[in-house]
Amino acid sequence: MAQIQTAPPTDMERNMEKIITIFQSFAGKEGDQAKMSYKEFEDFMKTELGSFTSNQKDPNILRKLMKSVDGGDTCPDGQLDFQEFLNLIGGMMVACNEALLRAPKQAPAPPPQKPPTKMEEAMEGIIRTFQQYAGKKGDVAQMDHGEFEDFMKTELKSFTCV
């Protein structure tokens, strides 16, 4: 009997899986398994994105961030579901990508004092994958149709193969 062979996951798929797993590891400790309470969100930010939170001058930044995306399902409830969480993380990745594109080309930065967290690794991996495909034929801040098609066929084959 023939066995079905599946290709190993791509880096993009692994990074997506990491983000899902991280969300699930923080959500639901105080109630709804599919949502993060403010406390769970605060724990997530301090644990996984501590470099971001430690550099903020506004002591209410986490409340403001959560409020900015809570209600993506049209009804703010003081919790973040996965879609709202992705909206926040996606916005942060867009800002990081834009900063990287604006930064002058120079020698690589010295290694960080602390190793990156799993979330930082996943976010950086997604940004780097985007940069690998975007701008080959124009604007480096976006993928044209052909670049997107190449990205989907290569990085997310499991979503496009029938």
**Residue 29 belongs to some domain of the structure:** yes
Is the pLDDT score of 127 beyond 60?
A: yes
What pLDDT score does 4 carry?
A: 58
Average per-residue pLDDT in the chain?
Answer: 88
3-class SS of residue 111: coil
Q: Domain count of the chain? A: 1
The rounded Cα 63 to chain-centroid distance in angstroms is 19
**Residue 152 belongs to some domain of the structure:** no
**Residue 86 belongs to some domain of the structure:** yes
Name the pTM for this structure. 0.86
Q: List the CATH number of the domain containing 81.
A: 1.10.238.10
Nearest to 48 by CA among 27, 76, 73, 67: 27
User: In which band, very low, low, confident or very high, does the pLDDT at 5 lie, cut at 50, 70 and 90?
Assistant: low
What pLDDT score does 94 carry?
A: 94
Q: Helices marked H in 80-144 — which ranges?
A: 82-102, 118-133
Rounded mean pLDDT of 118-143? 93
For residue 85, the enclosing domain spans 11-99+115-126
Tens digit of each residue's pLDDT (9 = 90 or more) over 52-110: 888 888 888 888 988 888 886 577 888 999 999 999 999 999 999 998 888 887 767 67
**Residue 45 belongs to some domain of the structure:** yes
What pLDDT score does 2 carry?
A: 56
What pLDDT score does 15 carry?
A: 97
d(CA 109, CA 11): 23
**Residue 139 belongs to some domain of the structure:** no
What pLDDT score does 73 carry?
A: 58
**Residue 148 belongs to some domain of the structure:** no
Decide: 106 and 145 in contact? Cβ < 8 Å. Answer: no
